[in-house]
Amino acid sequence: MSSIFFLLLLPIIVGGLDYGLGRIAPKAGRAEALQRSLLVTLVVLSIGMVWDSRNATIERLDSPALDIVRNQRLRPIALNLLETDKKVGTNNYLNRYFETELSQINNDLTSIGEGRFELKSGDLNQFMIAAFTSAKNSVLATSYVNPGDWWNNAWGKEYQRLNLDAADRGVHITRIFIYSSDSEIHDMCALMNDQQKHGIEIKVVDRSALGNVSPPDVIIIDDSIAGSMSLSDRRTAGGADFYTTDFSINRLKKDFQSVLYAARDFKGCPTR
């Protein structure tokens, strides 16, 4: 028996029983019994409708849309999307661009939820500032990027400070510098000495000791997030792929370990 049929039949049954009992009572008139029966029928019908709709009401209260409204971080974005959608209106050119942007946002959110995301070179520096500021226990890293493109510019000085600050607050950092010539390692000598003085474990390895495979430029922070930088043929920094799943983090840790196996402790700079 469907719930709708039951809701319709129940009030009739209750109303009929009430009318019959009212007629049996000695002082109950036919009009009064009928009136009371109709009232009872309406009350039962109303209660039944409310009861039947309770699941739909609960479902609406538990909907993802309401979750967004409750979330302090997501609410401003949701409101902005709604306002933008209204402003775009029926403008075909804006609508196409807006839909493209929404599609990109949706793809990015899906990637983040799956534990992987890509950062363009313009966004990488800002992300690394936040990542190092949040580091609590350990950082494992290799550095194969061209020193002049990373360490020996304004960003490199900022990145150096982030490393030193993290080491000073107790984060254990191990970094392997991969060099292609004595001249290159000499150019990085001052920053390596500075890091080592702050307790950062510094190791070095000659590029030729790593075989034909392009050396990885990776970082693993607190075993919670790992990234792999994209380098050009001239070893200039591009974007980076970051991961938060155990499988991907362990994969990049293996890349780090393979470089560590061939590396040696940094004990000072070679003479020119």
Alpha-carbon radius of gyration of the chain: 34
Mean pLDDT (whole number) for 76-90: 83
Measured distance CA(217)–CA(255) in Å, rounded = 9
Measured distance CA(155)–CA(168) in Å, rounded = 20
Measured distance CA(200)–CA(162) in Å, rounded = 12
Q: For the chain, what are the domain ranges?
A: 3-62, 67-113, 117-265
Which ranges of the chain does DSSP label H, i.e. alpha helix? Answer: 3-24, 30-61, 64-70, 75-88, 92-113, 121-134, 147-150, 154-168, 182-187, 189-197, 246-262
Letter for the amino acid at 119? Answer: L
To 5 degrees, how large is the angle CA 155–CA 160–CA 165?
Answer: 125
Instruction: Answer whether 0.75 is exceeded by the pTM.
Output: no
- Give, in order, the Cα–Cα distances in Å from 26 to each of 21, 93, 145, 265: 10, 80, 101, 107
Residue 55 confidence class, pLDDT cut points 50, 70, 90: low
CATH number of 117-265: 3.30.870.10
pLDDT at 227: 94
Q: Mean pLDDT lowest for which of 45-49, 72-76, 231-235?
A: 45-49
8 Å CB contact between 222 and 136:
yes
pLDDT (tens digit per residue) in 108-129: 888 888 888 888 877 888 888 9
pLDDT at 76: 83
Is residue 80 predicted with pLDDT exceeding 70? yes
DSSP 3-state assignment of 30? Answer: helix
- Give, in order, the Cα–Cα distances in Å from 80 to each of 1, 74, 75, 101: 47, 10, 9, 14
